[in-house]
Amino acid sequence: MSLPSRRLLFAVLFAAAPLVHAEMQGLDDSEMSSVNGQNGVSLAVNFTPAANTADTRCSGGCGARLAIQPLNSTGYIVLDNFKGTFSFDGMTIDVVNINSGFNGDGALFNQQALKVGLTNASATNLQFSLGGANQAKAGAGLQQSTLLTYQASGAVKLTGNIYVFGTH
C-alpha cells in the first residue's frame, strides 16, 4: 500500500472513530419494561469432530465418543464413533415450564425443562453407534455391547424440539 493510500485510510478511520464509540449503560425497571424481545438464545454452529487415528479399533480411526452414566447405574449409555459434519443454524435454547400437554403427562410433570429448538439443523455423512458399556473410556477392560450402528451418506435434516428434563 502506497504512502498516500495509507494516509487516506488512516484519515477515514480517524474520522469514523467517534461514530462507532458506544457506551453500555444500565437500564432501570421502568426503562426495561418498555423493551420488547424474545426469550432464549439463538445459535449458529458448524462442527466436524476429527477422527482419532491413534484409536485403531475403527477403520481409519474412531470418531467422538459420548458416554452418559444414568443416575444410580454402574454402566454407561454410549454414542460411539460419532462422525460427520453438523450444522445448527438458528438453534434456540430456552427454559420452559411444562405443566400441560404431552397426553396429560405435562400436568403431572409440572416443572421446568430445557428446550432446544432445531429450526434448520443438518448432519452430513453422519455415522454413530449406540451401545452400552461398563466404563466411559475405551481401553483395557472395556466391555461394550453395540445395539445399533447408523450411517447416512448425504444430508439428514433435523427439525423440531428436544426437551431435557432434570431429575431429583
pLDDT in tens, 21-38: 556 677 788 887 777 765
Residue 38 pLDDT? 59
What pLDDT was estimated at residue 15? 54
Count other C-beta atoms under 10 Å from residue 26's C-beta. Answer: 6
The angle formed by the CA atoms of residues 162, 163 and 168, to the nearest 5 degrees, is: 150
Overall average pLDDT of the 133-152 stretch:
86
Which of 8-22, 41-55, 104-118 reaches the highest mean pLDDT?
Answer: 104-118
Long-range contacts from 58-66, C-beta under 8 angstroms, 24+ separation: 62/138, 63/127, 63/128, 65/137, 65/138
Residue owning grid cell 462507532: 20
CB-based contact 85:123 (threshold 8 Å): yes
Quickly list H helices, 1-76: 3-20, 29-33
Q: How much of the chain, in percent, has pLDDT values that exceed 70? A: 80
For 53, phi then psi, to 5°, come to -70, -15
Average pLDDT, the chain: 79
Q: What is the DSSP letter of 95?
A: E
pLDDT (0 to 100) of residue 77: 92
Cβ proximity of 78 and 131 under 8 Å: yes
CB under 8 Å, gap of 24 or more: what pairs does 163-168 form? 163/96, 163/98, 163/113, 163/114, 163/115, 163/116, 164/113, 164/114, 164/115, 164/116, 165/98, 165/109, 165/111, 165/113, 166/111, 166/112, 166/113, 167/71
Q: What does the pLDDT look like over 96-120, one tens digit per residue?
A: 888 988 888 888 888 898 998 888 8
